[in-house]
Chain A
């Protein structure tokens, strides 16, 4: 009865996609922790970046009404700290990139698996018609003109961003705020993906 109920629901596939995304996110973070986050190199780089960015903030928020000579030396100091911050951020990115290959492989395999399961099949219904740019992903591989049909790729994309970003944040694995790349739309840490 319950299996009939589940299989009869038109978009039960969406729950399958979400379930697989959650499991993938947990596995990826576990791998990242093993290869990246627990290493002393990562911890020291992160600590360096945190200290440098906080130092930079303090230097930038001090009293602006200082003498010109003091201001010039302060600017030089700020430049030095900024370049050291950029260097540490770059080192952190390189370090994560080397270890992130395994996670990238896992994600590739999972996406391939989902694609083979749900190719050409709408897995959900979007409750509005997305803009043309989004339709390229939301209607990817689907036939017909109904732009509210949701492809597996779009749902997986939403799951990836929301679940992995929040999981990283919850576990304390999100990149330090001072590191480069934390712009308007911070993605889940790409180097651990």
Chain B
């Protein structure tokens, strides 16, 4: 299976050298038999990481989760999902794409920044102080909320 994918990978590489780019289809994202170009796969992994960063940032901030451990959890979770995607869903031979390091690093730094940004903004939005303000606007009498101190 891996030999067949390597042959397919080399064929696609030659096609790209000649300037032929097969159109990208959504079904390819879940097809373990599909052959991938390095750039296409890199782009897909990059955007998956950004989506994970956005979702985790929104979730972590909305709960809100506080503490450095949740940052580490995000790193493990996003890397784990990326690995599971290319190794188990796509069944990629990582040697054809520069190894696990190259695949896992695609979009990593941008996703860390995006996650931190969204987490910080969302946590501020949902902080108890802001919730207290909103509550007091609509229910002006006798509301008592504990202050949020990280």
A39 within 8 A of B: no
Query: Within A99-133, which residues are at the interface with B (CB < 8 Å)?
Result: 124-130
Among B17, B64, B71, the most chain A Cβ lie within 10 Å of the Cβ of B17
Q: What are the residues of chain B within 8 A of A54 when measuring CB–CB?
A: 13, 16-17
Q: Are B121 and A14 neighbours in the complex by a CB distance under 8 Å?
A: yes
Q: Are A127 and B117 neighbours in the complex by a CB distance under 8 Å?
A: no
Question: In the complex, what residue of chain B is closest to A1 when comparing beta carbons?
Answer: B137
B31 within 8 A of A: no
Known contacts A57-B13, A58-B13, A125-B120; is A161 also within 8 Å of B110 by CB? yes
B76 within 8 A of A: no
CA distance in complex: A187, B50 (Å): 15
Known contacts A18-B121, A177-B42; is A128 also within 8 Å of B68 by CB? yes
Q: Are A128 and B150 neighbours in the complex by a CB distance under 8 Å?
A: yes
Q: Are A158 and B66 neighbours in the complex by a CB distance under 8 Å?
A: no
Q: What are the residues of chain A within 8 A of B127 when measuring CB–CB?
A: 10, 125
Q: Are B117 and A158 neighbours in the complex by a CB distance under 8 Å?
A: yes
Contact of B130 among A9, A15, A58, A62 (CB under 8 A): A9
Q: What are the residues of chain A within 8 A of B42 when measuring CB–CB?
A: 177
CA distance in complex: A55, B16 (Å): 10
Q: Are B6 and A61 neighbours in the complex by a CB distance under 8 Å?
A: yes
Quote the shortest CB–CB distance from B131 to chain A (angstroms).
11
Chain B contact residues, majority secondary structure: helix
Q: Are A186 and B150 neighbours in the complex by a CB distance under 8 Å?
A: no
Q: What are the residues of chain B within 8 A of A187 when measuring CB–CB?
A: 109
Question: In the complex, what residue of chain A is closest to B46 when comparing beta carbons?
Answer: A169
Q: How large is the interface on B (under 10, 10 to 19, 20 to 34, 35 or more residues)?
A: 35 or more
Q: Are B109 and A51 neighbours in the complex by a CB distance under 8 Å?
A: no
**0/1 per residue, A113-155, Cβ < 8 Å to B?**
0000000000011111110000000000000000010100001
Q: What are the residues of chain B within 8 A of A62 when measuring CB–CB?
A: 10
Q: How large is the interface on A (under 10, 10 to 19, 20 to 34, 35 or more residues)?
A: 35 or more
B59 within 8 A of A: no
Q: Are B10 and A58 neighbours in the complex by a CB distance under 8 Å?
A: yes
Quote the shortest CB–CB distance from A61 to chain B (angstroms).
6
Query: Within B85-101, which residues are at the interface with A (CB < 8 Å)?
Result: 96, 101
CA distance in complex: A157, B121 (Å): 14
Q: What are the residues of chain A within 8 A of B48 when measuring CB–CB?
A: none
CA distance in complex: A129, B68 (Å): 7
Q: What are the residues of chain A within 8 A of B30 when measuring CB–CB?
A: none
A-B pairs with beta carbons under 8 Å apart, 16 shown? A5-B137, A9-B130, A10-B124, A11-B124, A57-B38, A61-B13, A124-B124, A125-B123, A126-B120, A129-B150, A157-B113, A165-B109, A165-B113, A169-B46, A169-B47, A177-B42
In the complex, given contacts A61-B96, A62-B10, A159-B117, what are 12 additional A-B residue pairs having Cβ atoms less than 8 angstroms apart? A11-B124, A58-B17, A127-B61, A127-B67, A127-B123, A155-B120, A162-B114, A162-B117, A165-B110, A169-B46, A184-B109, A186-B110
Q: Which 3 A-B pairs give the minimum distances between C-beta atoms?
A: A162-B114, A161-B113, A162-B113
| A contacts, CB < 8 Å to B | 5, 8-11, 14-15, 18, 51, 54-55, 57-58, 61-62, 124-130, 148, 150, 155, 157-159, 161-162, 165-166, 169, 177, 184-187
